[in-house]
């Protein structure tokens, strides 16, 4: 046996003794088996908000790091959306420090959004983290999205009339960009499982006040779900439905990729050309997916515009009078039977300031 493998085996045996609870040990084994496929012994980052799910992620990542020798970058984002945000970020840092987990606070210094707060907060979070990962040459980001998040996303998108792509929701791994891959090892975990892990290890966690604010659709959906469960709603069936949609979506992605190869040409990093034959030869969902992907790739954003806006633009393009439009940070124009998608010149500069160590 190689010396390196022997060391890992010894570490693994030692780590096993850290889990006095067999239930938590089994959770960790699942977590490890999922991220090891991609990460192995490479460095990685993880996003920690202070909730029970993200603290569980920090705990398991710490054990994984000690087992395989990875350097982990624990990132806390201060969105600066509320007066208490800085204080809360420091509190999370303190909770982690008590367990010898080093962390870095990324503070937003840009314009504070007044509308679509949760969406903008998510965008800010990913922009700050992806910038940090780029600077540190980190290729993997782990998030604490879990099974309950998956179900809530399904209902939110169902209420918004999303198609297959939206309803299939989150996958276990996805490319944020050419340089960063996001892993979600908790998608088969319940929120209650992660609460159990965190209270066992940290004894506490941060409660986000926005989780009780009915002005947010996610909060209302969470409450609707509790009422539906009283009426006998089987959440396991919803998870199975989402899994089936993910499978169907993957099949459609195969044909979408073929359509992109056939009809789309990237003339530069910030511009692509789409042959209008795409709109004549392909099915509606393939057209939608191809156009959505092209917008994301050109604009350099992880999340494409809302499906309703994309569909409206596609319908306008199909009409003979279309000339140009803007959407999702892109300028869309028709030229010589080709649709040109180029990045808008006026791009908002991303600002962030890591906490001084």
Q: Judge if 116 and 35 occupy the same domain.
A: yes
Q: Is residue 246 part of a domain?
A: no
Q: Is residue 30 part of a domain?
A: yes
Instruction: Encode pLDDT of 280-306 as tens digits.
Output: 899 998 999 999 999 988 887 777 888
CATH of the domain at 194: 3.40.50.620
The reply to whether the predicted model has a pTM over 0.75 is yes
How many angstroms separate the CA atoms of 104 and 187, rounded?
25
Q: Judge if 215 and 268 occupy the same domain.
A: no
Instruction: Encode pLDDT of 254-279 as tens digits.
Output: 999 999 999 999 988 889 999 999 98
Q: Judge if 118 and 206 occupy the same domain.
A: yes
Q: Is residue 357 part of a domain?
A: no
Sign of CA pseudo-dihedral 235, 241, 242, 244: positive
Please give the residue range of the domain that contains residue 190: 3-233
Instruction: Encode pLDDT of 336-349 as tens digits.
Output: 889 999 998 754 44
Alpha helix stretches (DSSP H) within the chain: 3-16, 22-36, 52-68, 85-97, 117-136, 147-159, 164-167, 191-201, 217-230, 235-263, 278-281, 284-299, 307-318
Q: Is residue 349 part of a domain?
A: no
Q: Judge if 259 and 227 occupy the same domain.
A: no
Q: Judge if 317 and 186 occupy the same domain.
A: no
Q: Is residue 145 part of a domain?
A: yes
Q: Judge if 143 and 287 occupy the same domain.
A: no
Q: Judge if 204 and 335 occupy the same domain.
A: no
Q: Which has more confidence, 21 or 258?
A: 258
Q: Judge if 93 and 195 occupy the same domain.
A: yes
Q: Is residue 166 part of a domain?
A: yes
Q: Judge if 73 and 222 occupy the same domain.
A: yes
Q: Considering 175, 201, 233, which residue would you say is the last residue of a domain?
A: 233
| Mean pLDDT within 128-138 | 95
Q: Judge if 192 and 259 occupy the same domain.
A: no
**Hey, how many other C-beta atoms are within 10 angstroms of the C-beta on 185?**
27
How many angstroms separate the CA atoms of 105 and 48, rounded?
10
How many angstroms separate the CA atoms of 104 and 84, rounded?
18
The pairing of beta strand 338-343 with beta strand 330-335:
antiparallel
How many angstroms separate the CA atoms of 278 and 337, rounded?
11
Q: Which has more confidence, 72 or 209?
A: 72
Length reported for the chain: 357
Q: Judge if 264 and 228 occupy the same domain.
A: no
Helix axes 22-36, 191-201, angle to 10 degrees: 110
Between the CA of residue 217 and those of 117, 224, 238, 306, 327, what are the distances in Å?
Answer: 11, 10, 19, 16, 24
Q: Which has more confidence, 201 or 82?
A: 201
Q: What's the pLDDT at 242? A: 82
3-state secondary structure at position 212 = helix
Q: Is residue 48 part of a domain?
A: yes
Give the rounded percent of residues in the chain with a pLDDT score beyond 90.
48
Q: In the structure encoding, which two tokens stand for residue 262, read together? A: 């056939």
Reported confidence tier of residue 174, pLDDT bands at 50, 70, 90: confident
Q: Is residue 245 part of a domain?
A: no
Instruction: Encode pLDDT of 56-98 as tens digits.
Output: 999 999 999 999 999 999 999 998 877 788 899 999 999 999 9
Phi, psi of 236 (to 5 degrees): -65, -35
Task: Compute the half-sphere exposure of residue 131: CA atoms within 13 Å on the CB side of its CA.
Answer: 16
Q: Judge if 44 and 119 occupy the same domain.
A: yes
Q: Which of 157, 170, 173 is nearest to 307 (CA)?
A: 157
Q: Considering 167, 198, 233, which residue would you say is the last residue of a domain?
A: 233
Domains identified in the chain, total number: 2
Q: Considering 202, 233, 264, which residue would you say is the last residue of a domain?
A: 233
């Amino acid at each position: 046996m190689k010396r390196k493998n022997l060391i890992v085996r010894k570490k693994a045996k030692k780590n096993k003794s850290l889990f006095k609870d067999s239930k938590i040990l089994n959770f960790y084994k699942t977590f490890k088996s999922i991220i090891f496929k991609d990460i192995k012994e490479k460095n990685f980052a993880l996003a920690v908000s202070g909730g029970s799910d993200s603290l569980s992620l920090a705990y398991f990542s710490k054990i994984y790091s000690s087992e395989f020798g990875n350097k982990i970058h624990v990132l806390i984002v201060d969105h600066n959306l509320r007066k208490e945000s800085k204080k809360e970020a420091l509190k999370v840092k303190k909770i982690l420090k008590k367990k010898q987990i080093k962390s870095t606070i990324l503070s937003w210094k840009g314009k504070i959004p007044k509308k679509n707060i949760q969406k903008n907060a998510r965008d800010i979070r990913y922009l700050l983290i992806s910038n940090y990962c780029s600077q540190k040459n980190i290729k993997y980001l782990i998030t604490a999205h879990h099974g309950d998040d998956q179900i809530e996303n399904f209902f939110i998108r169902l209420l918004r009339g999303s198609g297959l792509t939206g309803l299939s929701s989150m996958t276990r791994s996805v490319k944020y960009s050419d340089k960063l891959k996001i892993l979600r090892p908790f998608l088969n975990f319940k929120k209650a499982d992660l609460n159990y892990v965190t209270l066992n290890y940290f004894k506490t966690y941060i409660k986000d006040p926005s989780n009780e604010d009915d002005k947010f659709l996610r909060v209302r959906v969470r409450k609707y779900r509790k009422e539906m469960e009283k009426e006998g709603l089987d959440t396991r069936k919803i998870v199975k439905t989402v899994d089936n949609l993910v499978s169907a979506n993957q099949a459609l992605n195969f044909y979408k990729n073929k359509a992109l190869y056939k009809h789309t040409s990237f003339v530069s990093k910030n511009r692509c050309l789409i042959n209008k034959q795409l709109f004549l030869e392909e099915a509606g969902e393939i057209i939608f997916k191809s156009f959505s992907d092209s917008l994301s790739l050109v604009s350099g954003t992880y999340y494409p515009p809302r499906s309703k806006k994309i569909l409206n633009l596609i319908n306008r393009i199909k009409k003979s009078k279309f000339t140009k439009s803007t959407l999702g940070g892109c300028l869309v124009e028709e030229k010589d039977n080709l649709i040109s998608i180029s990045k808008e010149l006026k791009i908002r500069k991303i600002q962030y300031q890591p906490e001084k160590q």
